[in-house]
Amino acid sequence: MADLLLEHLEANNLRDERLEGLVNRLYVLAVRASHLDAQPSLEDRSAQPAHHPATD
């Protein structure tokens, strides 16, 4: 969405600080969301069985 808005601003030679600020905030939110998606949640980690080394 941020890319489309930025392309529109550039294609129409629009210089609006508020819209550019919005684009920057959208990028920041997208990066944060992608980092959160990449990390397993605490619930996911607790649902996995604990690894215990085999004892002979």
Domain boundaries, the chain: 2-37
Q: Supply the pLDDT for residue 48.
A: 54
Interior angle at CA 34, CA 29 and CA 38, nearest 5: 150
Q: Supply the pLDDT for residue 44.
A: 54
Q: Could you tell me the pTM of the whole model? A: 0.47
For residue 14, report the phi and psi dihedrals to the nearest 5 degrees: -95, 130
Whether residue 46 is predicted with pLDDT greater than 60 in this model: the reply is: no
Alpha carbon 44 to its chain centroid, in Å, reads 19
Instruction: Give the pLDDT confidence of 11-26 residue by residue, as tens digits.
Output: 877 777 888 888 888 8
Q: Supply the pLDDT for residue 41.
A: 58
DSSP symbols for 8-55: HHHHTT---HHHHHHHHHHHHHHHHHHHHHHSPPHHHHHHSPPP----
